[in-house]
Amino acid sequence: MNPTCIDLRARFGPKYRLAFDPAVESREDPWMLTLLCQRGMIYAHGGDVLAVDVDGHPQTAKRLAALPGVVLHQDGDRGKTFLFPLDQFAEVAAIVKPKRLPGPRQLTTEHKAKLAVAGANFRFRPGVQSIPRPHEPPRGRSSGSQLVCQPGSQKS
C-alpha cells in the first residue's frame, strides 16, 4: 500500500458530506476521513486508489463488481469492500450516491414574483398605524361612567 493519501477534504469537501471515524481522537489524520454515501462509504486506500464499503447492499455490490477497473478487496457475509482508481470516482459515485452538502437556495424570478404576490396582503403600508396618537382624546365612556359628548352631537 502506498503511504500517500488522497486528501478527501480538499478534493470532495466543498461538495459532499465528510465524516471521521468515531473512534478517532484527532481530526487531522486524512486516513480516517470518509465520504458518506446513501449506500455505503468511500475512503482513501492509498496513492490514487479509493475504497468503497457497501454493507447490507447486495444489489449495489453487484453493480460495483460489474464496473471495469473496480476490484473486490474484501468479501464478507453482509458487506463487501471494493478498490477503484480516483479517475473512476464519478462512475462509482453514481451507484453509491455520496451525500451532498446543501447549497445556497436559488429562487427563480418566476418564484420570486409568485412569493411577492402571495405576501402583498401582509406587508406594512405607508401611513397606516395601529396605535392611536397621544393627542387624540379617548372615545367612549370616561372613568366616571358619564357619556362623553362630541361637539355637534347634542339633540335640540
Taking only the tens place, the pLDDT of each residue in 120-143 is 888 777 765 566 666 666 665 555
Rounded distance, CA 59 to CA 67, Å? Answer: 13
pLDDT at 79 over 70: yes
b (16+ CB within 10 A) / e for 57-82 = beebbebbeeeeebeeeeeeeeebbb
Mean pLDDT computed over every residue of the chain? 80
* Cα atoms found within 13 Å of the Cα of residue 151, Cβ hemisphere only: 1
Rounded distance, CA 64 to CA 8, Å? Answer: 21
pTM of the entire predicted model? 0.62
Structure confidence by residue, pLDDT tens digits, 1-11 = 446 888 888 88
The residue-averaged pLDDT of 115-122 equals 86
In this predicted structure, what is the pLDDT of residue 147? Answer: 55
Torsion of CA 52, 93, 1, 4, to 10 degrees: -130
Confidence of residue 50 (pLDDT cuts 50, 70, 90): very high
* Cα atoms found within 13 Å of the Cα of residue 92, Cβ hemisphere only: 27
Among the listed residues 89, 74, 70, 88, the one whose alpha carbon sits nearest the alpha carbon of residue 15: 89
In this predicted structure, what is the pLDDT of residue 92? Answer: 93
Second CATH level (architecture) for the domain 8-96: 2-Layer Sandwich (3.30)
In this predicted structure, what is the pLDDT of residue 143? Answer: 54
Residue-range domain boundaries for the chain: 8-96
In this predicted structure, what is the pLDDT of residue 93? Answer: 92
